[in-house]
Amino acid sequence: MFHQWLILPDTQADRWVKAVYDPVLEQMSERIERWQRTNDRRAIFLSCYQMMTANMLEAIRREEFSDGVWVNHLLHRFADYYFMALQAYEERQENIPAVWQVAFQAANQKNYSPLQNLLLGVNAHINYDLVLTLEELLQPEWQALSSGRRAMRRTDHNRVNHVIAATIDAVQDQILEPAMPVMQVVDVVLGRVDEGLISGTITRWRGKVWQHAVYLVEASSEDERKEWVQRVEHDALQTARWIGWRE
């Protein structure tokens, strides 16, 4: 039932979700269904994330990446970071990243729009989690990788942007518009411009993410690494403020 949240059953995105099974999708589905029953707005980001994950799994299956095994590992470790932050928040642990604290708290407040809820979650997961996920996977192999293999890793990272761009329109139609009908008006007036703005913003974020991850991998000391992680989180919090988060 991990495509239950999809509203348009004949869309390509729905067919992809049906065609792909993975435990992480089921884990996401359980959360989404529970949150939808209680009108918990955390379901907005996770529904988008589930759709992106299903489409990524399908792209891996279609061998659209140079190293599908590595991308698959990245995909699942990336999801781990989200669920670790969620667990920390729900258990009121002190080690929850500040940028996730912001995203989860905003989802519980009615003065944030569904679009802001979505972008605050995307910001935390990409501008913070993805940096650390890439660092974790690149660190053990970086020194041994040739310049060509490093370039291949980055190319696979960039190819994800195409999956995101292909998914954004369905995210708007199936997740944002039902939660925020004004988006229907925006879609009619701007056509695909609004989807392009969202995917373009995410693409720019992901470009910086790679740079941050490589800097962490190549840091000359643990102190330098920690300082850069703090900078990454600071920048993500600044982006949250740009999205509309108010302390």
- Of the candidates 72, 50, 76, the residue with the CA atom closest to the CA atom of residue 60: 72
pTM comes to: 0.85
Kindly report which listed range (89-103, 128-142, 178-192, 217-231) carries the lowest average pLDDT score.
Answer: 178-192
Mean pLDDT of 181-206: 58
**What integer pLDDT is reported at residue 186 of this predicted model?**
42
**What integer pLDDT is reported at residue 171 of this predicted model?**
61
Mean pLDDT of 119-126: 95
pLDDT reading at 196 higher than 80: no
CB 172 within 8 A of CB 195: yes
**What integer pLDDT is reported at residue 68 of this predicted model?**
97
Instruction: Band the pLDDT of 20: cuts 50, 70, 90.
Output: low
202-239 residues labelled b (16+ CB within 10 A) or e (exposed): bbebbeebbebbbbbbebeeeeebeebbeebbebbbeb
Mean pLDDT of 181-185: 43
CB 225 within 8 A of CB 216: yes
pLDDT reading at 95 higher than 70: yes
User: Between these two residues, 85 and 15, which has the higher pLDDT value?
Assistant: 85
**What integer pLDDT is reported at residue 172 of this predicted model?**
59
Sequence-distant (6+) residues with CB within 8 A of 13 are 6, 51, 54, 55, 167, 170, 174
User: Between these two residues, 169 and 240, which has the higher pLDDT value?
Assistant: 240
**What integer pLDDT is reported at residue 197 of this predicted model?**
63
Percent of the chain with pLDDT over 90: 66
User: Between these two residues, 237 and 22, which has the higher pLDDT value?
Assistant: 237
pLDDT reading at 133 higher than 80: yes
Mean of pLDDT over the chain = 84
Distance CA 218, CA 31 (A): 37
pLDDT reading at 192 higher than 70: no
Distance CA 234, CA 89 (A): 19
Range of 33-47, 109-123, 191-205 with top mean pLDDT: 33-47
**What integer pLDDT is reported at residue 239 of this predicted model?**
95
Kindly report which listed range (5-9, 22-26, 83-87, 243-247) carries the lowest average pLDDT score.
Answer: 5-9
CB 103 within 8 A of CB 30: no
